[in-house]
Amino acid sequence: MTATDPLALFDEWFSLARKEEPNDPDAMALATATPDGRPSVRIVLLKGRGPDGFVFYTNMDSRKGAEIAANARAALLFHWKSLRRQFRVEGPVEPVSDAEADAYFATRSRDSQLGAWASYQSRPLDARATFEKRFEDFERRFAGKDVSRPPRWSGYRIKPDLIEFWSDRPHRLHERRLFTATVDGWSEGLLYP
Domains belonging to the chain, first-starting first, are: 6-108+148-191 (2.30.110.10)
Looking at residue 156, what is its pLDDT?
98
Give the per-residue pLDDT at 4. 87
How many CA atoms lie within 13 Å of 41's alpha carbon, on the beta-carbon side? 8
**How much is the pLDDT for 87?**
98
For every residue of 52-104, DSSP letters joined together read TEEEEEEETTSHHHHHHHHS-EEEEEEEEGGGTEEEEEEEEEEEPPHHHHHHH
pLDDT at 2: 54
- What is the predicted pLDDT for the residue at 3? 62
CB 68 within 8 A of CB 93: yes
> Mean pLDDT of residues grouped by 10 in the chain (193 residues)?
82 96 95 94 96 96 96 97 97 98 98 96 94 97 97 97 96 94 94 95
What does pTM read for this prediction?
0.93
| Rounded distance between C-alpha atoms, residue 27 and residue 44, angstroms | 6
Torsion angle, CA of 67/68/73/78, rounded to 10 degrees? 90
Task: Give pLDDT, residue 1.
Answer: 43
| Active site amino acids | 172
Distance spanning both ends of the chain, measured CA to CA: 23
**Quick one: which of 152, 160, 165, 153 has its CA closest to 73?**
160
pLDDT at 7: 95
Q: What angle do CA 87, 6, 70 make, to 5 degrees?
A: 65
CA distance 35 to 24: 31
